[in-house]
Structure 1
């Protein structure tokens, strides 16, 4: 396996952020064995450190100061019931979450759900991906759209994946980071299990530098909160099959069947079963 498959950055010695074993160099493999990887927690000293003080009540956009993340208090512990579990799982994000461009119409979400069938889990999944959705859009809609799907379910799960549209819309990294933090804090404080799937690379080198920077920021937000973050950028940035799939797509921005399979593989092998307490 080459260094590029392990997620190195053009020969750099930096270690990959987030969680994730080296990605296979050629074909997607869905292995039935649970991943041995544990959710990324970050250095112990950092994960236990409090966040910065809360931002002022006024609109941060009206101030010259960049928006600051709220102080984070430990969330309500998430519990898993005994016996058959009635799980409501909501996926919230943008076009990649919606599976745009996949001729099979599955996207990575459909493939992950198909591999999450378990005799002890009665799973109801909802894909709430919307093309062009920014983190600000997610802040505004995630709760209102998710709560009706969770009604009657004894276990609530939320999977988040967004960010590229923040960059394309000109949103500052501080605001994008704050939006993710606010969604995670609100959800976990309500006893909702949260899982975050990171940004994927594009064919544009300059855009990729900005995507990688935001991916690192998202990984840090998740690490501080003990939430699993799946790094999709570094494993795919130099993956031939991913790049070929993007190049062959009509808009050269969204993957096809193979690319969505690669994202699904990364999700399934980077803390997914641990997050769901599946054995």
Structure 2
């Protein structure tokens, strides 16, 4: 009787897992404005993943300064479909981060919001549903502003009360759809006013170098992100 022996494989023959491809869409928090050293948390992460010893995941920064929920929704699928260079595959995951610009008051501290709250909720629902129809989604929340530095650009008034209202709408919409949501606003607020102030740029809106370093660490420590 002939005995068949299973072939042995050299460790170097192990199948290498394909790198993940992620698109990150949002506003200036994704673009990285305010971090001249590292280019923001997304760029810092992209550079880490370019290291020879890293997982080698592919990351596309699709942040646009000033974007609100409707602008991100408008460009979502087009941006997603144009990131298929690996054997024509579409991205594996979408990371979204948007909403703070929608909350701004126009012209004065009690002016109308940049995006009416009801319109924001409809746009948010459409954005999340559309994104989930493409691939798995994660959502990174907004950072709290420095209210004492407002108005931004002499016309936009951001405040914590409106930020909280808009970010809670995002949190609940993500919860309803089982989309992982990282609540940066509450996390930073719980660390104290002084802690936040030292991590915001002079404009009171965008994180500075320390802020983006902290933001990246928050993302890396986030359990849904670690599962990548």
**What TM-score range do you get, normalising by the shorter chain?**
0.7 to 0.9
Deviations 1:16-69 (A, max 9, x none): xxxxxxxxxxxxxxxxxxxxxxxxxxxxxxxxxxxxxxxxxxxxxxxxxxxxxx
Deviation at 1:114, TM superposition (A): 4.3
SS at match of 1:160: strand
Aligned to 1:96: 29
Aligned to 1:160: 96
TM-score by length of 2: 0.75
Deviation at 1:222, TM superposition (A): 0.6
The answer as to 2:193 corresponding to 1:242 is no
Give the aligned length: 192
Question: What is the rounded CA distance, in whole Å, between the counterparts of 1:219 and 1:242 in structure 2?
Answer: 21
Instruction: State which structure, 1 or 2, has the greater radius of gyration over its C-alpha atoms.
Output: 2
Which runs of 5 or more structure 2 residues have no equivalent in the other structure? 1-14, 105-112, 149-157
Match of 2:130 among 166, 178, 186: 186
The answer as to 2:170 corresponding to 1:225 is no
Question: What is the rounded CA distance, in whole Å, between the counterparts of 1:153 and 1:239 in structure 2?
Answer: 44
Match of 1:195 among 128, 135, 138: 138
SS at match of 2:92: strand
Question: What is the rounded CA distance, in whole Å, between the counterparts of 1:258 and 1:240 in structure 2?
Answer: 13
Question: What is the rounded CA distance, in whole Å, between the counterparts of 2:34 and 2:23 in structure 1?
Answer: 21
Aligned to 2:40: 107
Which runs of 5 or more structure 1 residues have no equivalent in the other structure? 1-81
Deviation at 1:109, TM superposition (A): 1.0
Question: What is the rounded CA distance, in whole Å, between the counterparts of 2:93 and 2:117 in structure 1?
Answer: 26
The answer to whether the Cα contact below 8 Å between 2:23 and 2:59 also exists between their aligned partners in 1 is: yes
The answer to whether the Cα contact below 8 Å between 1:242 and 1:258 also exists between their aligned partners in 2 is: no
The answer as to 2:91 corresponding to 1:139 is no
Question: What is the rounded CA distance, in whole Å, between the counterparts of 1:193 and 1:119 in structure 2?
Answer: 26
Distance of aligned partners of 1:110 and 1:164 in 2 relative to their CA distance in 1, 3 Å threshold:
same
The answer to whether the Cα contact below 8 Å between 2:147 and 2:204 also exists between their aligned partners in 1 is: no
Question: What is the rounded CA distance, in whole Å, between the counterparts of 1:144 and 1:100 in structure 2?
Answer: 23
Deviations 1:63-92 (A, max 9, x none): xxxxxxxxxxxxxxxxxxx85124221111
Deviation at 1:196, TM superposition (A): 0.2
SS at match of 2:93: strand
Question: What is the rounded CA distance, in whole Å, between the counterparts of 2:133 and 2:101 in structure 1?
Answer: 27
Aligned to 1:262: 214
Question: What is the rounded CA distance, in whole Å, between the counterparts of 2:131 and 2:187 in structure 1?
Answer: 28
